[in-house]
Amino acid sequence: MELNGRISALGGPFIELASVDSTNKTAAELLRLSKLRHGAVILAHEQTAGRGQRGRQWLTAPGRDLALSIVVAPPALRADGQFVLAKLAALAVHDTVASWVPGEVRIKWPNDVLVERRKVAGILIENELAGDRVAWSIIGIGLNVNSTDLPEELTATSLALERGGEVDRMAVLDALLQRFKALWEAWTTGRRDWEASYTERLWSRGRWADLVLDGQPVQGRPVDVDEQGRLLVELPGGGVGAFALDRLRFAPR
């Protein structure tokens, strides 16, 4: 693949593709060929086999939504602290969506952004480790911008549906990259103020939610997410537990 010399808002190559199976997969292939550097952005106008977590699929309406991968080389990030990348990405998506829609936008642990109770964006982060460090992170973001015929069973929404009119997709991309850049700079210069914003925007924070813990339905009040990416939840007895995805998930909406 020839790179055309365009530079992303993050200072790496900006690669715009008409159609691809998955921007995350493409990013991984280009990384393997040493064709990327920090700050690369890969945008696909059509994504034919978008990936979600654990083999799930991500749907994108060609030419109407955003499917992109941001490639970063985090400075000295230990593998056990890699969830910080998910926080930065989710907050960047949250803030961007919130500036476009009137409804309440929330970050649903671990990687969804919702407007009210409908999913507007999903994030898939795939990291490449070198020893106990994160060498590269591929931050895949799918954001429903102008989709209007999302299958009802997804409980999904788009910026256009929320606003009641079409949205300039590239302006959303630009805002998203600018916001990510600002948060990245905050994190890499040791600022921590953005973390409180992340916590405040957590879906169902301080409210009883239906959860599934070790396969059993339970009620819990999300409190925060710790550095390992575990959701801290208050349980009915009053204690607070920290649970990773292998034990805890939200019950289906």
Q: Which residues pair with 97 in a beta bridge?
A: none
Span near ligand BT5 by CB under 6 A; candidates 93-101, 149-157, 186-194, 205-213: 149-157
- Per CB under 6 A, contacts with ligand BT5 among 56-95 are 56-59, 67-69
Could you tell me how far CA 244 lies from the centroid of its own chain? 17
Locate all alpha helices (DSSP H) within the chain, ordered by sequence.
23-32, 83-98, 159-163, 169-188, 193-200
For position 111 contacting ligand BT5 by CB under 6 A, the verdict is yes
At closest approach, how far in Å is the CB of 81 from ligand BT5? Answer: 21
Closest to 81 measured CA to CA, from 195, 177, 249: 195
Residue of the chain from 41, 141, 211, 233 that contacts ligand BT5 (CB under 6 A) = 141
User: Maximum CA pair distance of the chain?
Assistant: 59
Distances (CA, A) of 1 to 17, 36, 46, 80, 118: 10, 11, 17, 34, 37
- From 32-40, 76-84, 141-149, 237-245, give the range in contact with ligand BT5 by CB under 6 A: 141-149
Binding letters toward ligand BT5, positions 34-53, x by CB under 6 A: -------------x--xxxx
Contact positions toward ligand BT5, by CB under 6 A?
A: 22-24, 47, 50-53, 56-59, 67-69, 111-112, 119, 122-124, 140-142, 144, 150, 154, 156
